[in-house]
Amino acid sequence: MPAIVAVRGSADLNLLGKAVPGAAVHEIHTLEEADPEQARTADVLVLRSGVRLGAAQLPDWPALRHVIRAGSGLDGIDTSALAARGIALHRNTGPAAYAVAEWALVALLSLARRIPYGQAALAAGEHAKTACLTEPVSRMRLAIWGAGPVGRACGRLLRPHVRELAYAARPSVPAHLPQRPADTLPAWADSHLVALPLGPQTMRLFGGGFLSAARHRSPLLICVGRLGTLDLPACLEALACGDLSGLALDPIDQDDLALLPTGGPPLNLLATPHIGAQRTDVRSALDAWVASTAHRVLTPTGSQAR
């Protein structure tokens, strides 16, 4: 009997059970809290964002043959370790992209109109109307860092609202997209949207060097990728002193709460608990895809049957 283990929030257990009749389907909170017997016998592991799976964890999952990532991000997943064990990785990059782009548009408009600042000032007992006088978004230049599914969706949705848009030039950026050399963007753009994966080259990329180069434009900075691509303390300091005019952060997970400022003067800061893809249609599409993928890899009629 095949066994499927899903981290809470990564799958609809009822759909999984219907897709693979006879399978043992288990839900866990974290890999660390998994029942040892369930881990030992699992054929399929379904993950959401924020889960670490690599060489340190894999010995606890000796029967594992498939990892299904309900989304696109690979942060925390050691793909080399999976490949060395012959474990197939399945992920779906499509359904969430436009939902995240929708969040990015809300963030751009909110920061540009200084709505988070106005709200924070009111909560502190201040009426800061005059501090919320701004230039229109239609006069802004927008730089997008990252041209994966999310970055491209953001470009398509935000382009009609801004004056100019350019992607940070990289070999992987499709040739038809408008591009500028990355080192010229801090001096060019009024707003920056970060849609990069987290890796050695992108870790804290938006820190002291970027902030210094962009300071004279006092730009908006919007992160829809991974929080680790920002040097968050440096960005918050830049926001407080005016070197950034606005900061929007969606990928806030439970462990990141301590990084956010409490008290102090009002800031033009929008922070949300990783809700970019939290739409019912996206959730339904991903749940259906996870179930169909489990069916495909575990049933005799699937292309990778047991």
For residue range 164-176, what is the model confidence (pLDDT) as tens digits?
A: 999 999 999 999 9
Q: Report the relative pairing of strands 66-69 and 44-47 from DSSP bridges.
A: parallel
> How long, in residues, is the chain?
306
Structure tokens at 128: 């800061």
Q: What is the pLDDT of residues 127-156, one digit of tens each?
A: 999 999 999 999 999 999 999 999 999 999
Please tell me the distance from the alpha carbon of residue 304 to that of residue 281, in angstroms, as a whole number: 28
What pLDDT, on a 0 to 100 scale, did the predictor assign at position 304? 44
Put the strands of the sheet holding 191-194 in their side by side order. 179-180, 164-168, 141-145, 191-194, 220-223, 246-249, 269-271
What pLDDT, on a 0 to 100 scale, did the predictor assign at position 299? 87
Contacts of 63 (CB under 8 A, 6+ apart): 3, 40, 41, 42, 43
Which domains, and CATH codes, for the chain? 3-93+280-298 (3.40.50.720), 97-271 (3.40.50.720)
